Amino acid sequence: MKYCEYDNKLTIEDANDVEVFDCNLIPKEELKDYTHLRFRDCKILKTIINIPNQITNLSFVGCKSLESIPEHIPLIELNIDYCSKYIEIPNTLINLKNLHLDHIYHLKTLPKEFINLEDLYLAKIEDLEEIPKEYTKLKSLYIYDSQILTEIPEYPELEDLYVNYCEKLSKLPEKIYNLKELIVRDIEIEELPKTYSNLQRLSIDGNFKIKIIPTEYKNLIKLSLSNSNLEQLPEIKNLKKLYLFDMYKIRNIPDYYQNLKTLYMFHVNIKGLPFLKNIEKITINECKFIKTIPKNLSKLRYLSCYQCTKLKYIPTEFNLKDLTVGECYLISKIPGSLKKLEKLDIFCNNRIKFIPSLNNLKDLSISSCPNITKIPSSLNKIEKLLIYENEKINSVPNLYNLKDLTILYCPKVIQLPYTFNNLEKLYLIDSAKIKNIPSNYIKFLDPRSRI
């Protein structure tokens, strides 16, 4: 048995020879500054006694033999995780505000007396038949993998609802007027309640029955959709963040999303984007039909394109700070007009032949781009440089601000300058032709290096 601090909790670990733990055995100097007490991986622990009144947060993790906890203690938070024999929570813990239960397979009921409960987390509580409607102060409810739960009560103060893989749940409660966030994953509900007019964040994953998102969700600012048959995006003009994953039936991004700041798309079959005047961040992954990105997106600061095999060019009018281009085989150049660019990552491209003089560039990564022949000496602000799998680059210029240099599988590089006065890290693999590595660089060599 040992005591240790873990996540600002006093933790008793590996008490594998104790069935009944007496808290009086804990040295007072160990306990005096803590209100959190946690038991972790105490395999035969069945119960505990003499808990000090100062303990308001109690946690059991991996105590597989746990059967009971004291009934009359002023707990505010209780966590019972992976305690497979635990079957009943005392109904006397009336001050409880946070209850976290994970992998408690045989728990069938929750006490109705927990009327002060605000946060309830239920994961793999497979025998739980219902959640008491008396939890009227509940603000956050998380339910994962419930086999027999058929409904969720209408909690008037609920703000966050997460429901994942509840196979018998066929609908969501209507009268939850304060709901701010809803996450629905792998449940076959047919429609979303129109009454969630205050909803701000919505995520739907693995549902093929929901056909529309109610237009009543006018306060929505974040929308995430994944593996859904949804064909049309809702007309919600205040939307600021949109995430689309494997949404093959979506054919376009509406042009009324003019407040959108973040757009992330993965496996989406759209051909182009509308002009989005406030967009700041765009990520396009494996969108094989997209051909163009709008010009004059003056607020765009981050652009990442991966496996966009029909995308031909990066517009020159951007004020980008961060650009990633990977496996976009038709792109043949990086615009030299991107003067504010600070980070550039290019990989798996045979057409790009040179890096333009980007005077504000601080971080440059070139991977599997066989036709790039040199690193410009004008990149005076570069602090981090990576070159991977290139057989044409033969030297690294005098980059005075360079701090981090990685050269991997570049057989033509034969020398390094002596002027890297700010170098802090050097990583080399298969660089046998580099002769006379400056002695003052040796101490910065990454231990994984193979020269």
What are 379's two structure tokens? 């990149």
Contacts of residue 68, Cβ cutoff 8 Å, sequence gap at least 6: 46, 47, 88, 90
Query: Domain 139-239 sits in which CATH superfamily?
Result: Ribonuclease Inhibitor (3.80.10.10)
User: How far is C-alpha 158 from the chain's CA centre?
Assistant: 24
Q: Name residue 231's amino acid.
A: E
Q: CA separation (Å) from 156 to 60, 162, 406?
A: 30, 16, 56
pTM score, whole prediction: 0.90
> What pLDDT is attached to residue 14?
72
> What pLDDT is attached to residue 432?
65
SS3 (DSSP) at 227? coil
Phi-psi region of 43 (alpha: psi -120 to 50; beta: other; left: phi over 0): alpha
> What pLDDT is attached to residue 282?
97
> What pLDDT is attached to residue 196?
96
Average pLDDT, 10 consecutive residues per value, the chain (451 residues): 66 81 80 85 92 91 93 94 93 96 92 97 92 97 92 96 92 95 93 96 93 93 94 92 95 92 96 93 95 92 96 90 96 94 97 95 97 93 96 91 94 85 90 74 80 66
> What pLDDT is attached to residue 423?
92
> What pLDDT is attached to residue 20?
92
> What pLDDT is attached to residue 8?
61
d(CA 265, CA 282): 8
Domain positions in the chain are: 1-99, 139-239
What are 77's two structure tokens? 């938070």
SS3 (DSSP) at 285? strand
